[in-house]
Amino acid sequence: MHIAKPQHRPPQDMYCPMLQICNGCTHGICKFCDIYTGEPFEASPMEEILEDIDEIAQTATALTRRIYLTGGNPFALPNAHLVKIFDAVEERIPTVHSYGGFCRITDIARKTDEELAELASRGVNDLAIGAESGHDGILEFMRKGQTAADLVEQGQRLHAAGIDFTFFYLAGLGGDGMGQENALASARAFSAAQPNTILIVTLTPTTTWPLAKDIAEGTWAPASEVDTAREIRTFIEHLECKSSIICSHDSDVVRFNGLLPGDKQKMLDLMDNRIPKINESAARLMREMIHKATF
């Protein structure tokens, strides 16, 4: 398989085959990411894609129904190209009728309503979107290239097209002292966008991110583990949406899953019980183990 980089997937897609159809990120400048720094975005050669589909077909079973497209932000590719790939997959693996993958909010914005409807009709569903935050100042500082209003507008367009989506929330992105403000602004934007799933991941800064320069210059400092957990609690408390919450990434100090709105109180009670027991140095050690080269 032509998989150029370690790939990140939401847990619900951990077990479907990955197909790399591009490499690089069309944006590539977020301060909290170094996966594609300096690499241009380019579509994978069709011969490579066909070879990989043939390889997946060799072990495919009747349960091989979904393919996870990878390589940065594959939905930045034009629909005509994506449809060609879907045709090639389904010719070789007829059980496949669903496609997911990472997607920037700007990839959605660049597609017309008709193009989104076409993707939905071809089985594109449950897109994984790095929303990260709904706080405009934080999104701008982190060079994410999207605003809270973009999250809401494009989320609503995806719903209108019939495409479910997962929003990532990066707890701690605002840094020291910004957790509560970030939580409240993000809860507002996420509630308006109504993602089907919200995946909470706690920021673990590394020395290889552009953010390391801000840390060295004193223009950004990480929040404490307790403050970040309190931020997550406030975020959950103020969410008004029907979403599945997954807060069980390796980086999350307090881990839980639940369904909003029904499980909200249970999730808050769990956090109220766990937050006073957080050990800052043990949690920091856990971050060292995740990335090795943490701040």
Residues that bind ligand SF4 (CB under 6 A): 25, 27-28, 30, 33, 35-36, 72, 104, 130
DSSP output for 8-50: ---GGGTTSPEEE-EES-SS---TT--SSTTPPPEEPPHHHHH
- Residue 16 or 25: which CB sits closer to ligand SF4? 25
Taking the complex as a whole, how short is the minimal distance between the CB of residue 102 and ligand SF4, in angstroms?
A: 7
* CB 97, CB 123: distance < 8 Å: yes
Strands 42-43 and 22-23: antiparallel
**What's the length of the chain?**
295
Our CB check for ligand SF4 shows the closer of 25 and 178 to be 25
The CB-of-266 to ligand SF4 minimum distance in angstroms stands at 31
Do residues 53 and 87 touch, judged by C-beta distance below 8 A?
A: no
128 contacts 168 by C-beta, under 8 angstroms: yes
Closest separation in Å from C-beta 35 to ligand SF4? 5
CB of 155 to ligand SF4, least distance (A): 17
Q: Is residue 44 within 8 Å of residue 21, measured between CB atoms?
A: yes
CB of 36 to ligand SF4, least distance (A): 6
Closer CB to ligand SF4, residue 31 or residue 230?
Answer: 31
Closer CB to ligand SF4, 25 or 93, in the complex: 25
Q: Which is nearer to ligand SF4, 132 or 231 (CB)?
A: 132
